[in-house]
Structure 1
Amino acid sequence: MTTAVLEPRAGRRCHNALNTLHATHYFSPDLGRELGAVGVTDPRAVNLAVRSAALGPVGAGTVAAAFYNYKYELVARHVPAVWQTASPQRVLAARARAVDATLRRLLGEQALTSAEMAEAARLALRACEACTRGARPLYAAHADLPVPDEPHLAFWHAATLLREHRGDGHLTVLVSAGLDGLEALVTHTATGKGMTPKWVFGTRGWTEQEWDAAVARLRDRGLLDGDAELTEKGAALREEIEQETDRLDRAPYEHLGPDGVARLTELASTFARVALTAGAFPADLLGKR
């Protein structure tokens, strides 16, 4: 009997499609409206609160550690103060309402009630069965939340679990590679797949001067050249990081199997393309400049 083998990058491709759907709500006006309704109006506080709420009313140290690439001083300006405005439970409820509104607006009612959405939810939740909590705080916290009944929200919930599972493992790899949070951002941006500096400054709290200092450190290590582009050594390191992240995140996709992963990737990619066409993200979000 021959067992089908999962292609090395299949999990990464599936994650990328799922993460696109997960991330739509961070840039949605629905999120600001729903969080504003419970008293959280600063966009940075909104971002920090919705992603960390599953952890409970934690302090700045816990959030900065779990998020890794946010400047601690930014986190400390909003956490734990935000929990005095809205409890984590209220934030989670507001987030769920925002996600529902966002997916309805971007994908349309027909997609939300389709057989394909229900299938995507089943496949993604099946993959989550093989995720593990150890050393994965954001995944573990979200895994303790109930699975929504509606297929589109169940799909988004599963996408969130798979996103945080990979993300937690990715941070372990970044630490092993000797990249601090800002250096990780700089090298990711240099690949052309990360956020532009403008968005890093606006959402992560770093300054242009701190960015330039990180660039200088990375040049000293031979990872960036004089134009802040990845050197051969830098590009190799970024690929090594992704490959090791793939290895640490392999279990859910092996559990789902090659056919299931291929189908989930197909479904998630279709939904992601619709969301992108509908303008889910700012045009200047990704790139090197």
Structure 2
Amino acid sequence: MSTSLPARAGRRCHNALNLLHSAVYFSPDLGTELGSLGLGHPSDVYFASRAAAMGPVGAAVVTSTFYNFNHELVGRHVPQIWRTAEPEAVLTARMRAVDTTLRRLLGDEAVASAEMAESAELALRAVEACTRPARPLYAAHADLPVPEQPHLAFWHAATLLREHRGDGHIVVLMAAELDALEAIVSHSASGKGQAAKWLLRTRGWSQDDWTAAEDRLRERGLMDAEGGLSETGTELRRQLETDTDRLDRAPYEHLGEAGVARLTELANGWLTTAFAAGAFPADLFGQA
């Protein structure tokens, strides 16, 4: 491995890659492709498309690995989704949706560009240093074949890097004694996560659940009376990301400072284009 990177260099790279990975979950193309398999409900589509790499797992495994979803919501969709569509068929449909989505958001010229091939090469090189132990979602995706087309290989690598960091982040959240809902409430309150209304709509929690989590965070001195983070809460969220950086440093140190800087530059360019093309709802992020 190379020497240490500049502070937060890996995180900045991850942030761009993570959003590019996530764009497919907001894409109508994913719903269309999985709808053709009989999966019509948005939760069916999300749970199936993200969990399929693990095989036909039950609700407990999905709740455990996804962390911030209400188990009752998961149980209404899993494992029933696998009786409708086999995981292998879901994965094939997901990759078709990725292809359509990236071509629509970035354009065919970008998809076929030398820069896209370079993005894939750099991201896959970073993945070489990811590790499987205690990282179930990463490990499951790591067993999938790398697509031949560069834009699909790039998305695959971004997915691996996203799940690798995400698995580590769950370890950090548990060490901080933040339960599933407290984790997303505090992240939303920081202004850096999804808006509360989106999380309530998609994670299966009620407003009463959300309010109770806020009360628990206030009891710990992590939130203020207005629903924002206190100084202590802000420091905790900062430390959570720093600790996650530490657990996720290997792929970016393996890629090296110049490689990380170039991958970040390329990923941010693709992300800017994707945002301009309407990849995400306008009110998705922030405290609104």
Shared fold by TM > 0.5?
A: yes
Residue equivalent to 1:210:
209
Q: Is the 8 A contact 2:3 2:253 kept in 1?
A: no
Amino acid at match of 1:197: A
3-state SS, counterpart of residue 270 of structure 2: helix
Residue 78 of structure 2 corresponds to residue 118 of structure 1: no
- Alpha-carbon distance, 1:5 to partner: 3.5
Residue 275 of structure 2 corresponds to residue 276 of structure 1: yes
Amino acid at match of 1:144: D
3-state SS, counterpart of residue 183 of structure 1: helix
Residue equivalent to 2:59:
60
Residue equivalent to 1:77:
76
In structure 1, distance between residues paired with 2:57 and 2:151 = 29
TM-score by length of 1: 0.98
In structure 2, distance between residues paired with 1:183 and 1:130 = 31
- Alpha-carbon distance, 1:193 to partner: 1.1
Q: Is the 8 A contact 2:26 2:280 kept in 1?
A: yes
1:25-60 per-residue CA deviation (whole Å, 9 max, x = no partner) reads 000000100000000000011111100000000000
Residue equivalent to 1:233:
232
In structure 1, distance between residues paired with 2:199 and 2:219 = 22
In structure 2, distance between residues paired with 1:219 and 1:166 = 28
- State the Cα RMSD in Å: 0.7
Residue equivalent to 2:86:
87
Q: Is the 8 A contact 2:165 2:248 kept in 1?
A: yes
TM-score by length of 2: 0.99
Residue equivalent to 2:37:
38
Amino acid at match of 2:45: V
Residue equivalent to 1:178:
177
Identity of aligned residues (%): 65
Residue equivalent to 1:192:
191
Amino acid at match of 2:204: G
In structure 2, distance between residues paired with 1:186 and 1:5 = 32
Residue 102 of structure 2 corresponds to residue 103 of structure 1: yes
- Alpha-carbon distance, 1:135 to partner: 0.2
- Alpha-carbon distance, 1:4 to partner: 5.2
In structure 1, distance between residues paired with 2:166 and 2:269 = 23
- Alpha-carbon distance, 1:8 to partner: 2.1
Residue equivalent to 2:6:
7
Amino acid at match of 1:216: D
Residue equivalent to 1:220:
219
Residue 163 of structure 2 corresponds to residue 169 of structure 1: no
In structure 2, distance between residues paired with 1:5 and 1:187 = 30
3-state SS, counterpart of residue 239 of structure 2: helix
Q: Which runs of 5+ in 2 are unaligned?
A: none
In structure 1, distance between residues paired with 2:58 and 2:7 = 38
1:112-131 per-residue CA deviation (whole Å, 9 max, x = no partner) reads 00000000000000000000
In structure 2, distance between residues paired with 1:131 and 1:4 = 17
In structure 1, distance between residues paired with 2:3 and 2:127 = 20
- Size of the alignment, in residue pairs? 287
- Alpha-carbon distance, 1:198 to partner: 1.1
In structure 2, distance between residues paired with 1:8 and 1:60 = 38
- Alpha-carbon distance, 1:195 to partner: 1.1
In structure 1, distance between residues paired with 2:73 and 2:90 = 19
**After the TM superposition, which parts of structure 1 deviate over 6 Å for at least 4 consecutive aligned residues?**
none
